[in-house]
Amino acid sequence: MSRVYNFSAGPSMLPEAVLNQAREEMLDWQGSGMSVMEMSHRGKEFVSIAEKAEADVRGLMAIPDNYRVLFLQGGATSQFAMVPLNLLQGATKACYVNTGSWSKKAISEAGKFAEVIVSATSEAEKFTTIPAQDSWQIDSDAAYLHYTSNETIGGVEFQEIPDSKGLTLVSDMSSNILSRAVDVSKFGVIYAGAQKNMGPAGITLVIVREDLMGNVPASTPSMLDYAQHAKSDSMMNTPPTYSWYLMGLVFEWIKNNGGLAAIEARNIRKAGKLYDQIDGSDFYSSPVDPAYRSRMNVPFILADDSLNDKFLSGAKNEGLVTLKGHRSVGGMRASIYNAMPEAGIDALVSFMQEFERSNG
């Protein structure tokens, strides 16, 4: 059976090299006689896997020594609550930038713990752009400024790190982490679910500056306290060991393929090919402001939406799957994370050209 090109927004496709290695090690990890799924999370075998994964991601992202790297459960959605619980530290206000569906969810959850100041929003523009930073209203009394670096549904992406005006900067990077280099030292917290660029669902990467930990309200559950997770090396309870292992294999794959510089260059090429096809045709269009187009999630619309089902069916016949756009946007969406090879983009562009010739 041949593999398809999976354009799903998440869980997304994984690198074939990672899947092949996992298959080879499924029954016996490096002579241990066990699958990773069967190992004690406190045994020397799994501890070595966990330590290597942390070392590799620290190297890839150049994470400074005064940051802790946590491997947690609950997805990025749990971080919507953990961020205010850990970072308010006596403050009553937090600033959020609203650029799409995931920003809105983060804002809603933070509102349970603090007065949320929406410093900027593009809701009136149907989340097709990002408000100019000189228009943001940032309250100096707020504990932090939160933004979503890439909106999976709307396909808008920050192309530079925003100026937080002295506030601790927090970012949900679930859908573009490890797709480009970022200066971690500019952030207080970075968090990301794994199931788009780092591995299978079930584990979340959290990078938190050490001075921000250890000052939560007394009523905070231990499982929502960054300091407790750091103290236990992310093993307060049994972690999702196999997801952690696969995440480590993805980190190793990125290292073996030139690191973030090479990955970013490839992502630029991939996105460029697809946007060039969309922009060069009257048959397809992008609803997103070109200045903020995502390299990871590319929504596009057919001139005649009555052809949507035919497009999806034809694409599936060509091994191009999960291209249906989110219901709030419509049309199509191609999610082209790190693991999507350039050959997948070439195949999609070729299909789009032929579909236009036949139906335009």
CA distance 320 to 315: 5
Beta-bridge partners for 93:
115
Whether pLDDT at 1 is above 70: no
pLDDT in tens, 61-91: 999 999 999 999 999 999 999 999 999 999 9
Both tokens assigned to 279: 């922009």
| Overall pTM > 0.85 | yes
Does residue 43 lie within any of the structural domains?
yes
Tell me: do 325 and 236 sit in the same domain: no
What's the chain's average pLDDT? Answer: 97
Tell me: do 139 and 213 sit in the same domain: yes
* Cβ contact 72:225 at 8 Å: no
pLDDT of residue 360: 81
Q: What percent of the chain has pLDDT over 70?
A: 100
pLDDT in tens, 11-30: 999 999 999 999 999 999 99
CB neighbour list of residue 257: distance below 8 Å, 6 or more residues apart? 263
Tell me: do 281 and 341 sit in the same domain: yes
Tell me: do 272 and 231 sit in the same domain: no
Tell me: do 250 and 263 sit in the same domain: no
Of 217, 239, 256, which one is at a domain's C-terminal end?
Answer: 256
User: What pairing do the DSSP bridges indicate for beta strands 93-98 and 284-285?
Assistant: unpaired
- pLDDT tier at 98 (50, 70, 90 boundaries)? very high
pLDDT of residue 329: 86
Average pLDDT over residues 242-259: 98
Residue showing tokens 């699958």: 35
CA distance 36 to 237: 17
Tell me: do 99 and 62 sit in the same domain: yes
CA distance 119 to 129: 15
Tell me: do 100 and 33 sit in the same domain: yes
- pLDDT tier at 328 (50, 70, 90 boundaries)? confident
Tell me: do 46 and 58 sit in the same domain: yes
pLDDT in tens, 152-199: 999 999 999 999 999 999 999 999 999 999 999 999 999 999 999 999
Whether pLDDT at 223 is above 60: yes
Closest Cα partner for 167 from 260, 245, 263, 91? 91
CATH of the domain at 324: 3.90.1150.10
Residues acting as catalytic residues: 102, 172, 196
Listed in order, strand segments (DSSP E) in the chain are 5-6, 67-72, 93-98, 115-121, 144-148, 150-151, 156-157, 168-172, 189-193, 204-209, 284-285, 297-302, 320-321, 332-335
User: Whole domain around residue 297: which residue ranges?
Assistant: 259-359
Does residue 94 lie within any of the structural domains?
yes
Whether pLDDT at 52 is above 60: yes
CA distance 29 to 22: 9
Tell me: do 78 and 185 sit in the same domain: yes
Tell me: do 225 and 109 sit in the same domain: yes
pLDDT of residue 314: 98
